[in-house]
Amino acid sequence: MVDKTDNANGTHPLIGKRVEVLDKGFVELQALMGNDLSIVNAARVSFLGESKGEEKDRKLLFYLMRNRHTSPFEMVEFKFRLRCPLVTWWQLVRHRTFSLNLQSGRYTPFEENDFYVPDVWRRQSSDNKQASEGTLDSLEGDALTQELVEHYARSYLLYEKALQIGVSREMARLFLPGFAVYYTGIVKVDAHNLMHFLHLRMAPDAQHEIRAFATAIYEHFFKPALPWTAEAFEKYVLQREEV
């Protein structure tokens, strides 16, 4: 395995790949620095060592994951471009190890279809205040979706009216349904902290919207970029296999 520790110049085949998420969102990889061997070599630098062949390298990486030696995993970085509804961004920004920058409604106006429309309506869980459980039947759900779309249309008309009469963009956006608006942003994170995010946000009790983005990141980008790390992550973190 070649240690191309800096793939930020666009040479990695995953760079530029985009995966659609939810109704209007996406995840796109913009830059990638490092691979599995970058992690192994970072661990061996303590002894001024380097690759000792695939079998020993893989064994060392699994040892690092199993024993929670986390700093070598920080030597790999991902930079993504995400388009998410604000309800998703609110959960992502809680991971303060991410570096991020989002579009601003003060500079660019929103478009008429920049709102999240769920495909199903989830019911409130009876025993978990922050979770959902089950869904409304299709007849109730379809009626509620129609009301939501009409609400978006009315809100956007008021937003446009405010802009047309000269209200500033930063104030006109008060008319928009806040949690439903899609924002595009750039996020950068190292592999160690990304795994922490994935562990929490791919969990069955995570909110559907953030789980959809976390799963897309893991399946389409993390696993192909770091196959050994992903295998060890599944074995010792997601499945909690002991030493």
Q: Which residues contact 49 (CB under 8 A, 6 or more apart)?
A: none
In terms of DSSP bridges, do strands 122-124 and 99-102 run parallel, antiparallel, or are they unpaired? unpaired
Vertex 173: Cα angle to 172 and 178 (nearest 5) = 155
Q: Of the residues 68, 201, 211, 240, which is catalytic?
A: 201
DSSP letter string, 52-93: --HHHHHHHHHHHHHTT--GGGGG-EEEEEEEEEHHHHHHHT
Q: Which residues contact 70 (CB under 8 A, 6 or more apart)?
A: 64, 192
Q: Which residues contact 119 (CB under 8 A, 6 or more apart)?
A: 23
**How far is residue 239's CA from residue 214's CA, in Å, rounded to a whole number?**
17
Q: Is 154 a catalytic residue?
A: no
**How far is residue 193's CA from residue 178's CA, in Å, rounded to a whole number?**
28
Q: Which residues contact 227 (CB under 8 A, 6 or more apart)?
A: 36
Q: Which residues contact 5 (CB under 8 A, 6 or more apart)?
A: 33, 34, 35, 38, 75
- Asked whether the beta carbons of 77 and 169 are under 8 A apart, the reply is no
Show which residues are catalytic: 201
